[in-house]
Amino acid sequence: MNLLARSARARAASPALTRDAFDLMCLSAAIVLVAHVPHLSPWLSGGLALMLAWRWWQRRQRSGGAPAWLKLPILALLVLAVTASNANPLGQQAGASFAIGLLVMKLLESETTRDARVAMGFACFTLMTALLFDQGLLATVFIALGLLPTLATLRALEPAQLRTSLPRTLLPALSLLAAALPLALFAFVLVPRLNGPLWGTPSSHASVTGLSDSMSPSEFGELLLDDSPALRVAFDDAPPPNNQRYFRAYVLWDYDGRRWSSPDPGDEAAAPVEVAATTSYRVSLEPSRQRALPALDLPIEAPAHAQLLADHQLLADRPVNDPLEYRVRSALRYHLQPSLSADARQRALRLPGGFNPRTQALATQWRQRYGSDDGAIAQAALSLFHDGGFRYTLAPAELGREAMDDFLFTTHEGFCEQYASAFTVLMRAAGIPSRVVTGYQGGYWNTLGNYLLVRQSDAHAWSEIWLAGRGWVRIDPTAAVRPERISLGAYAAAEDQQTWYRSDWLESMRNHWDIVNRWWNEGVIGFDTMSQRGLLTPFGIHDLDGTALGALLVVGSALFAALGLAWAMARRDKIDPALAWMRVLEHKLDRHGVTRRPGEGPQHYLSRAARALPARRDALKALSESYLECRYAHAEPSPESVRAFRRLVRDFKVRGVVK
């Protein structure tokens, strides 16, 4: 009880919040909310925004916090909302959502400077938690600039602050951020990296890229509209032509009538491959929450901490939760698995019973017509797609239980998933071993950065069929319907999409901006323990261990402290700006016979000047009050009060003297 009583007395003794300070608090909370909107549920974001707007409006109508009886129901609703919108109530997203809600609730009771300081300290922490979800360049810059209103709020809580415009209010905070930048860079470079995550609770394992080890028609739709980068590829030699830029991610063998899936990886060695031409390259992969490592078809070697499966998928030892770089060597011309085992053949021919009877009948007709010529059957399927009135679209009609029958004989429209799935089912029904492969196709060659940019919208699905004497052969049925998909990409090749998105200037701007993002990912996000230890390699030190890092950190911190102390002492030795303008005023008055006497205080001096210059009595009174505020209201004069005194001195004119 004593602690509560002391807290209540401290709250009562704290000065009340001004209107400007409260407006800055609301702006700070709004920026925190905006920074977290991408990973908050829409209705939770909307509810918190409405509550913040209501509190801002209510405070402008009258002082006083929200009613006490309202806070407990709001807290209960917040807990229910966070629990309902997050699968893991103890994860990062749930914790951040709850923290934002508490920040907005704190504004419901903030009426004193003590409340405001507590709220703004918590706002800084909550704003920083947005970096747990997005560490990109734009997000980082937004969060850094989002600190400006918070710093401006804390400054507005200081006594004797003058009202000014919002840009002038934010300018001192911007100066503080600029001054802190060298120290932040120093800490970024030398503070030892942690081996584990900073946030101890495991994060969600939902897919980021959208590619997974299963596929059903129409699941790629949203992914093909996602323009975010998936991977960047730097080749040791000239890049392959666009029609060879197939990046293998998953090989799907099993089909249940609706969904294709990949079996559990076994210990079987990679299938034999006869290589005619190879290329080597480096891949920078964005986080995917998956283990698959996309590689140019066909990878023949596994990078470190990964394995090459029997069907030549690359699988990492653990999910890719952070940006990852790896080197790969792939075959561009090859014969994959010239002989097929009985078990593999059986798995590559398996179809569920009781599905798609019309598709089965069509494949049987082709087998009867072409006999044992598997290549002719595959060509018949491609001719059907090319000449049968099929259309490439990212918004196809829904398919029913007999999905392949509906697609082949009714809707005649779809994108890569539908075409690859239908072609593979047709081949299996005709007795030709086949499987679906998903990954990426195409990409944009960035000449400035000398790398291939592959976006999520380049996600693609194609087929592989096994032909005697040739092994597994890649067949892309989508190219038979819409060849522009291979040259232009999924979104641009769709006939029913907006033409403005295909504009050259927009594509050029997006792809050139990616150079900056690549630098940020490699130089900042990718700055790990190995990069830190190699900092002094150009100076002949090849391994900077923890002891050396600690020594550099101590020496550097001492150097920064010394520079700060020297700057503070040099600033103290400079003439006070308010005193300098007082000298200007004394010079003006001295020219008209009002000279300051030795030891005379400023208040007495200006009062005497007012008696000597009755026509300027009001102006001299304002000058006296302004100067006393600059010199004695607080330890350091605020820039606003100095500017106000300077303006009064400049405007002061002497029109007459009383002798």
Active site residues: 416, 460, 476
43 burial (CB, 10 Å; 0-12 / 13-18 / 19+) is exposed
Tokens of residue 222, six digits: 């949203």
159 burial (CB, 10 Å; 0-12 / 13-18 / 19+) is exposed
Residue 431's alpha-carbon distances to 29, 311, 362, 428, 436, in angstroms, are 64, 20, 12, 5, 16
How, if at all, do strands 413-414 and 391-392 pair? parallel
CB atoms within 10 A of CB 298: 21
Residue 468 CA to residue 465 CA, distance in Å, equals 10
Please, what's the b/e burial string for 127-146 (b: 16 or more CB within 10 A of its CB; e: otherwise)?
Answer: bebbebbebeeeebebbeeb
Contact status, residue 130 vs residue 36, Cβ threshold 8 Å: yes
Q: What share of the chain is helix, strand, coil (3-state, %, to 5)?
A: 55, 15, 30
> 518-526: long-range contacts (C-beta < 8 A, 24 or more apart)?
518/232, 518/284, 518/449, 518/451, 520/136, 520/137, 521/284, 521/286, 521/323, 522/284, 522/325, 524/135, 524/137, 524/188, 525/135, 525/322, 525/323, 526/323, 526/325
Contact status, residue 602 vs residue 579, Cβ threshold 8 Å: no
Residue 34 CA to residue 435 CA, distance in Å, equals 45
Element (H, E) at 513: helix 504-520
Three-class SS state of 293: coil
Contact status, residue 265 vs residue 251, Cβ threshold 8 Å: no
Tokens of residue 78, six digits: 């917040």
Three-class SS state of 292: strand
Contact status, residue 131 vs residue 139, Cβ threshold 8 Å: yes
Contact status, residue 110 vs residue 116, Cβ threshold 8 Å: yes
